[in-house]
């Protein structure tokens, strides 16, 4: 006999991975959306009138996030100004295809779309892989993507970024940080909002949403998303944690949320020193080191020593910081990279959206990125200045 929906007596079509309850399609949609709404309101994620960028990769998580954010924004009158923000890592056969699906979302959901390219750094992932091979390439991608998203968001003058990180991702990160003995990240990784200290806040409305339910939601809603794996090999270590989480889920489906509870109830000894968040002296991006990871990686690429910054090469980073300090502080303005004239050209290129947030930047901004870079350790010396200025214009 077919199971009946536990809420409305219609025929059930699924058993919720999260609770084990049998539900019909409509009741599942409602439960799924209400939970996200509950997460948003419990954590007071948004304030009316804010502009919020949805980090959109074209994959299932961010596609469902865009869909649900839009639906909830209307249903509960969040009064948010939503925009889609994508990063183009420059991976032929993967990102170019997934960006197509983001572009379709732009039309389907009537949300303006902005794309930031890795060209921002002067390097596509394809070019990076050509130089460093398939090992460690994810290091570059992870670091650059995060910064690119932040920079794109700053250009758009948004108040917050929401990302599609789901409960599985967070549980996985908790486990990874336990395995690495990384207490600083362990403490931070269960926070629903990060980056409140100065930089742009990022929130995860899917913090308590199971990946399986996201897939089910996308499937039953027939959402248009891109599901191919990246053509470059993924990080093996995270893969272990991922496999462990999946195995745990098979034994006890609540394990994912139980791990998040565990992460939330950890408290760190008072005497343990936490890394202090500062800003990168080179680009002004938040960093717990003098020079941020992206700058170190970029330096390595540009100097033909791509392994610089991979693994625990703190020495190199220290040396770089020293070099910078020696060359005089006057030219270093930590805000420069973030608020420079590039924004103007960027906003002109923005797609049909007519974003209200895309007003042109601080008039008095002195775009000195190139000078800084050339004056100091030559971080962008090999970067075609045109590229920097044109940022994400290649679309």
Instruction: Please report, as residue ranges, which positions from 284 to 313 form the binding site for other proteins (by CB under 8 A).
Output: 293, 310-312
Q: Least distance in Å: CB of 364 to other proteins?
A: 32
Nearest to 29 by CA among 47, 10, 53: 10
Cα–Cα distance measured from residue 148 to residue 142, given in angstroms and rounded to the nearest whole number? 10
Residues 173-212 close enough to bind other proteins by CB under 8 A: 173-183, 185-186, 192, 207-208
Q: Least distance in Å: CB of 265 to other proteins?
A: 4
Q: Least distance in Å: CB of 327 to other proteins?
A: 27
Q: Least distance in Å: CB of 179 to other proteins?
A: 6
User: Three-state SS for 160?
Assistant: strand
Residues 213-232 close enough to bind other proteins by CB under 8 A: 226-227, 229-230
Q: How many CB atoms lie within 10 A of CB 352?
A: 9
DSSP bridge partners of 202: 161, 194
Residue closer to other proteins, measured from CB, 246 or 327 = 246
Size of the site for other proteins (CB under 8 A): 88
CB 297 within 8 A of CB 140: yes
User: Three-state SS for 66?
Assistant: helix
Residues 103-162 close enough to bind other proteins by CB under 8 A: 136, 138-139, 141-143, 145-146
Among 3, 248, 367, 393, binds other proteins (CB under 8 A): 248
Q: Least distance in Å: CB of 56 to other proteins?
A: 11
Residues 42-101 close enough to bind other proteins by CB under 8 A: 42-44, 57-62, 98
Q: Least distance in Å: CB of 90 to other proteins?
A: 14
Residues 342-381 close enough to bind other proteins by CB under 8 A: none
Cα–Cα distance measured from residue 32 to residue 30, given in angstroms and rounded to the nearest whole number? 5
Among 252, 352, 354, 363, binds other proteins (CB under 8 A): 252
Residue closer to other proteins, measured from CB, 119 or 172 = 172
The tokens describing 214, both together, are 């996201």
Cα–Cα distance measured from residue 29 to residue 23, given in angstroms and rounded to the nearest whole number? 9
Q: What angle do CA 376, 381, 385 make, to 5 degrees?
A: 120
CB 154 within 8 A of CB 162: no
Cα–Cα distance measured from residue 226 to residue 229, given in angstroms and rounded to the nearest whole number? 9
């Amino acid at each position: 006999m077919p199971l009946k929906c536990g809420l409305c007596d219609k025929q059930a079509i699924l058993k919720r991975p999260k609770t084990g309850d049998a539900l019909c399609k409509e009741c599942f949609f409602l439960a799924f959306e209400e939970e996200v709404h509950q997460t948003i309101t419990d954590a007071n994620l948004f304030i009316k009138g804010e502009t919020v960028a949805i980090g959109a990769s074209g994959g299932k998580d961010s596609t469902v996030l865009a869909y649900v954010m839009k639906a909830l924004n209307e249903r509960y009158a969040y009064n948010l100004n939503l925009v889609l923000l994508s990063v183009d890592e420059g991976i032929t056969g993967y990102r170019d295809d997934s960006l197509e699906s983001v572009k379709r979302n732009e039309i389907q959901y009537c949300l303006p779309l902005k794309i930031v390219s890795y060209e921002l750094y002067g390097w596509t992932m394809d070019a990076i892989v050509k130089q460093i091979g398939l090992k460690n390439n994810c290091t570059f991608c992870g670091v650059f993507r995060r910064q690119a998203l932040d920079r794109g968001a700053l250009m758009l003058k948004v108040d917050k970024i929401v990302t599609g990180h789901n409960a599985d991702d967070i549980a996985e990160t908790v486990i990874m940080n336990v395995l690495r003995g990384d207490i600083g990240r362990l403490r931070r990784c269960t926070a629903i909002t990060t980056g409140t200290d100065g930089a742009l806040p990022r929130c995860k409305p899917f913090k308590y949403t199971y990946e399986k339910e996201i897939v089910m939601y996308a499937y039953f809603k027939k959402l248009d998303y891109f599901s191919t794996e990246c053509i470059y090999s993924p990080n093996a270590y995270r893969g272990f944690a991922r496999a462990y989480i999946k195995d745990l889920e098979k034994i006890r489906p609540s394990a994912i949320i139980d791990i998040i509870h565990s992460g939330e109830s950890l408290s760190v000894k008072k005497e343990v020193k936490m890394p202090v968040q500062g800003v990168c002296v080179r680009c002004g991006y938040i960093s717990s080191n003098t020079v941020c990871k992206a700058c170190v990686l970029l330096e390595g690429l540009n100097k033909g020593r791509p392994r610089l910054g991979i693994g625990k090469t703190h020495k190199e980073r220290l040396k770089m910081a020293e070099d910078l300090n020696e060359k005089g502080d006057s030219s270093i303005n930590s805000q420069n990279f973030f608020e420079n004239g590039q924004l103007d050209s960027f906003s002109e290129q923005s797609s049909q959206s007519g974003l209200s947030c895309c007003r042109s930047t601080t008039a008095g901004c002195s775009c000195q990125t190139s000078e800084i870079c050339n004056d100091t350790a030559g971080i962008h010396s090999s970067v075609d200045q045109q590229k920097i200025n044109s940022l994400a214009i290649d679309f």
